[in-house]
Structure formats: C-alpha cells, structure tokens
C-alpha cells in the first residue's frame, strides 16, 4: 500500500535493553499454550486469535512492543493496531526465535 507506515522492527538486543530500562511493555501475541511453554520474562500474553487493540493494557509511559514466535503474527497485530488507529507500530523482528538465537534468556521451555 503506497504511503502506508512501516512496522518498526526492533532487534532482540534493543528489546532486552528496553525491558531492562523499564521502557518497554512486551506483548506476546502467541496462543496461551505457546506462552505457557516458553516466554520472555516480563511479557504479557494477548493472543492474536482474540487480539483487540482497544483492550491492550495501559503501558504507563512505556512503549508497547509486540512479539510472537517468528515475527509474522506480531506484524499482523501491528497492522490491526494501525487499522484501529492505535499508535502501536513496533515489534520484535524475528520474534522469540531471534531472541533465543541472540542467546537471550527465556522462562519455561
């Protein structure tokens, strides 16, 4: 789509730094069973299957960053936010797979 805003991709290192600095609210859009099996510490689970941009938690001054397993579902959630006029445009590029490939820790799994 011509002129459409681009999704902002963050690297695992950028997300880790933002989490450590308490500047990011990480929203994992994977399904509950995936989230329960393994997740990034501090992430909240709002599955894409029931995703409602209007129901996202108050980030309390933090930047909301969306995340999934590989980046596709979080990009879809960013698109849903855009269509709902929510100013959420950032996701973890490569998702949990990129996070783990970068050697960063997870909880569970």
Q: What's the CA gap between 40 and 42, in Å, rounded? A: 6
Does residue 54 sit within a domain?
yes
User: Residue 3 domain-assigned?
Assistant: no
Q: Which domain holds residue 64?
A: 8-108
Whether 55 maps to a domain, the answer reads: yes
Q: Is the pLDDT of residue 84 over 70?
A: yes
* Model pLDDT, residue 4: 52
Average pLDDT of the segment spanning 4-23: 91
| 18-24 contact pairs (CB < 8 A, 24+) | 18/63, 18/65, 22/62, 23/62, 23/63, 24/62, 24/63, 24/64, 24/65
Is 1 domain-assigned? no
Classify residue 2: in a domain, yes or no: no
User: Residues near 13 by Cβ (< 8 Å), separated by ≥ 6?
Assistant: 102
Residue 109 pLDDT greater than 80, yes or no: no
* Total number of domains constituting the chain: 1
Is position 24 within any domain? yes
Residue 88: give its domain's CATH number: 3.40.250.10
Residues 19-77: tens digit of each pLDDT: 999 999 999 999 999 999 999 999 999 999 999 999 999 999 999 999 999 999 999 99
Confidence tier at 107 by pLDDT (50, 70, 90): very high
Q: Does the predicted model carry a pTM greater than 0.75?
A: yes
Give dist(CA 70, CA 98) in Å, integer: 7
């Amino acid at each position: 789509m011509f002129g459409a805003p681009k999704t902002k991709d963050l690297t695992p290192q950028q997300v880790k730094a933002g989490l450590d600095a308490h500047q990011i609210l990480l929203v994992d859009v994977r399904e509950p069973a995936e989230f329960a099996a393994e997740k990034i510490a501090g992430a909240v689970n709002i599955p894409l299957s029931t995703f409602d941009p209007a129901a996202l938690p108050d980030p309390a001054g933090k930047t909301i960053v969306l995340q999934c397993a590989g980046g596709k579902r979080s990009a879809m959630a960013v698109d849903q936010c855009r269509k709902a006029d929510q100013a959420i445009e950032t996701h973890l590029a490569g998702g949990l797979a990129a996070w783990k490939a970068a050697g960063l820790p997870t909880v569970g799994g």
